[in-house]
Amino acid sequence: EVQLVESGGGLVQPGGSLRLSCAASGFTFSTYWMNWVRQAPGKGLEWVANINQDGSAKNYVDSAKGRFAISRDNAKNSLYLQMNSLRDEDAAVYYCVGDVGWLPRYWGQGTLVTVSS
């Protein structure tokens, strides 16, 4: 069974940093594209970033470029999102999502990021 478990969320001040992690199991992690998708409280879904199987290709939504960095460690079956210069509008539940292509097939339960002073 595919499992994606996010961690690392929490309360951070505006301008601060946070690193999210996603632990994957139940599938061959190194063969999957991986994504981060977020959902602000009471709002819709917003794709944030994705990374290809070996980490050589990455894509970001414009609002994340220059502030967020997606990475992965295939030896540890883990996906990461380093978030810097956090803003109020970055507050959301962040989901780890994966599949062999860009299709959002498998979703984690999400981790909540709160940005507040």
Partner 1 sequence: DIVMTQSPDSLAVSLGERATINCKSSQSVLSSSNNKNYLSWVQQKPGQPPKLLIYWASTRESGVPDRFSGSGSGTDFTLTISSLQAEDVAVYYCHQYYSAPLTFGGGTKVEIK
Which residues make up the interface to partner 1 (CB under 8 A)?
A: 35, 37, 44-47, 50, 59-62, 95, 101-110
Closer Cβ to partner 1, 14 or 27, answer by number: 27
CB of 75 to partner 1, least distance (A): 26
Tokens standing for 41?
A: 């409280």
Closer Cβ to partner 1, 14 or 47, answer by number: 47
Between the CA of residue 8 and those of 26, 28, 54, 83, 101, what are the distances in Å?
Answer: 21, 23, 23, 11, 26
Q: Is 89 in a helix, a strand, or coil?
A: helix
CB of 93 to partner 1, least distance (A): 8
Nearest 10 degrees: Cα torsion 21, 24, 29, 32 = -70
CB of 37 to partner 1, least distance (A): 8
